[in-house]
Amino acid sequence: MLRVVFAAGALLSFGVLSTQAQLGDTAVETAEVAVQEDVSANQNPDGELDAKEDTADDSEVGSVRSAVVKIYSIRRSHSLSSPWKRLTSSTVTGSGFVLSPTEVLTNYHVVAMTTDVSVSLNGQSERLSGRVKAIAPGLDIALIELEEPLPDRIKPLPVAKKTPKGGTQIQVYGYPKGGDALSITEGVISRMEHVRYKYNARGLRTQIDAPLNSGNSGGPMIADGKVLGIAFSGLSSSNDIGYAIPCEELNVILDDMQDGTYDGKPQLWISTSTLASKEMRKWLKMPSGATGIRFARMPIPVDDYPLQSNDVITHVGEFEVNNLGKVNLDSNTQVTYTYAVDQAASNGKVPLKILRDGKPMEIEVPVFRDSHLLLDYMIEQQPTYFVYGPIVFGVATVELLSSFDLAIKRGGRTGAGIAALVASMQERENPLFMRRYECVKDDAEELVIVTKLIRNRMTRDTSLGLPAVVRSINGQPIKTIKQAAEVLAALEDELLVIEFDDNRSSTIVLDRKAIEKAHDQIMEDNGIVKAASKNLRDVWDR
C-alpha cells in the first residue's frame, strides 16, 4: 500500500523549520524536502496556545528555567534524485535541557542532518556551539556536546526513574513558535503506552493533555523539579493532546549512549495474532485459563529458529501475556508484550514460556536490534550512488519510496487514483512495491535502481517512469550496487544491456564506447564532481 504522508490525525513532530529551498522539477525532487524535513508540516502558525511566558520567581521554577535551552540547527540534506547535490540549507529551532555542564538532550528530528548546531540559554542572545554526540533516531533522541562547559549557575536537570501515575500535574518547558521567551505549558499525564516510534523502533510513550506547538520539540516535561520525559509531538486533529518520551526510555537510551553510540533496543521481530477467539484457543489445545498470543512467522530468515508456527507465547520473561497480547506495566496499566521483550532480554536472547500442541515448554529466542528490511532507512547518510555516463544508479530506501508516495499525493491523485496506481504496480510486479516490507538474512541483497536518466542524445528515446529496479546487466544478475559497479567496470561488450525487474519497464540498450566517450562531458555539464558516493569509490572512481 502507498503510505499517505501527513494524513489527518497524524503525529506531528514540532521543530520549527525555516527554509529557502528551491525544489527541483521532478516528482521526487518536489517531494523529497518535505519528506526529509517533515517537522514543519501542518504546524500551528499562532504559536503558544494555552502556554504562558515564564515570569515565575520560584526557586525550583527558576532552576528549571535556566536549564532549558533553545536549539538552532542548520540542516542540509542530500537530493534523492541527484544524490551528488545537497539541498539548500534550512534552519530548524527546537528546545532542549541541560543534562550535564557540557551536554544537552533534545529530539533527534531537531538536529537531523545538521551541519551546524548551537544553543542559547534563557534570556541570552549569545549562541553556544556544539556537536551532535550521539543519536537514537528511532526514539527521537539526540545528545548534544557543547564546545565549552556551561557556567556553574546552570544546574543540570535530573532525570526521574519512573513516570508517576496518570493524573499527575506536569509542566512542559520550551520555546514554541510565536515568541522568543521561554514558555511553560501545564497539563496532566493521561496515559502510558508501548508503541511504534520511527524507523521501526518501539518504546513507551506518555500522552499528556498539555498542548504542544511548533518549537516545543525537545523541551522537558517536569514535575517536582525532575525530568519526566521529553516533548516530541502532538496530534494534528487535536490542540490539547501531546506526547512525550518518558524518563524510563531516556534512562535506557542514556545508558546505551555512554560509549558514544546507540546500539538500539532488542526486539523479537515476529508476526503474532491475538487469541480472543475461544474457538482458536480450543484449536491450539490451550488448557482452560491459559492465555497468550499465537506465533505466526518470523519474517527475518534465521536458521534453526526456536519458535514454530502456532506456538502460543504465554510469558515473556516473568511477564504473563494475555489473549490480546498485553502485559502489566503496573497494577493499572497494560501495554503490548513488546515492552516485556525490552525488559527480559539478556545476552542476545529472551526467555519465553510457550504452549506447543497444548504442552508447556520453556525456550530462549534470539532478539535483534535491526529489522533486516530489504528497504532500509538512510539515517544521517549520503545516498549511495554511482554515475555511468547518463545513467545514475542507486539503492532503494524507505526515504526514496516515501518521496514517491508524497509526490503522488501532491500530484492531486484521489483515493481511487492511488488505488489504481497501486494495482498497476502490483500488476507490473515492481519490487519497490511487491518487496517493500521484505526482510533479508544479511546485507547480501539490495534493490539496485536507476534513479535518473540524464537527458542527452543517448537517452532521449528512453523512458523509465518510476525508479526502476535492475534485474541484470549484460545477463549478469545484480544483487548489490557494489556488484553492479564491479560488473560495469569490467564490461568489455560492445553494447550495454540493462534489464529491469518490472514487466513493463523498457530494457536499456546503449553503445558502451559512446557512454565511455560522453562520461566526462556529462559529469561536467551536470555539475557532478564525484562519480560515486564515498562508500563506492574503491570500485568506481572515474
Instruction: Tell me the mean pLDDT in the region 19-44.
Output: 37
Fold of 385-536: N-terminal domain of MutM-like DNA repair proteins (3.20.190)
Instruction: Write phi, then psi, for 160 (nearest 5 degrees).
Output: -65, 160
The verdict on domain 271-366 having CATH code 3.30.700.30 is: no
Q: Is the pTM of this model over 0.75?
A: yes
Alpha-carbon separation of residue 114 from 89, 111, 345, 379 (angstroms): 9, 5, 34, 12
Least confident range of 29-33, 101-105, 170-174, 234-238: 29-33
Are 389 and 518 contacting, i.e. CB atoms less than 8 angstroms apart? yes
Q: Give the tens place of pLDDT for each residue, 116-155.
A: 999 999 988 899 999 999 999 999 999 999 999 999 999 9
Fold of 11-21+42-259: Thrombin, subunit H (2.40.10)
Closest CA to 39 of 85, 73, 80: 73
Report residue 13's pLDDT band, with 50, 70 and 90 as the boundaries: low
Q: Distance between CA 494 and CA 512 in Å, rounded?
A: 6
Q: Give the tens place of pLDDT for each residue, 206-221.
A: 999 987 777 789 999 9
Looking at per-residue pLDDT, the higher value among 143 and 11 belongs to 143
**At which residue does the C-alpha cell 542507486 appear?**
394
Q: Distance between CA 455 and CA 293 in Å, rounded?
A: 55
pLDDT tops 60 at residue 52:
no
Write down the pLDDT at residue 45.
Answer: 31
Instruction: Tell me the mean pLDDT in the region 21-35.
Output: 37
- Domain regions of the chain by residue span: 11-21+42-259, 271-366, 385-536
Q: Give the tens place of pLDDT for each residue, 250-265.
A: 999 999 999 989 999 9
DSSP 8-class letter at 365: E
Q: Give the tens place of pLDDT for each residue, 313-340.
A: 999 999 999 999 999 998 888 999 999 9
Q: Give the tens place of pLDDT for each residue, 74-93.
A: 998 888 888 998 888 889 99
Instruction: Say which residues have a Cβ less than 8 Å from residue 278's Cβ, sequence separation at least 6.
Output: none
Write down the pLDDT at residue 421.
Answer: 63
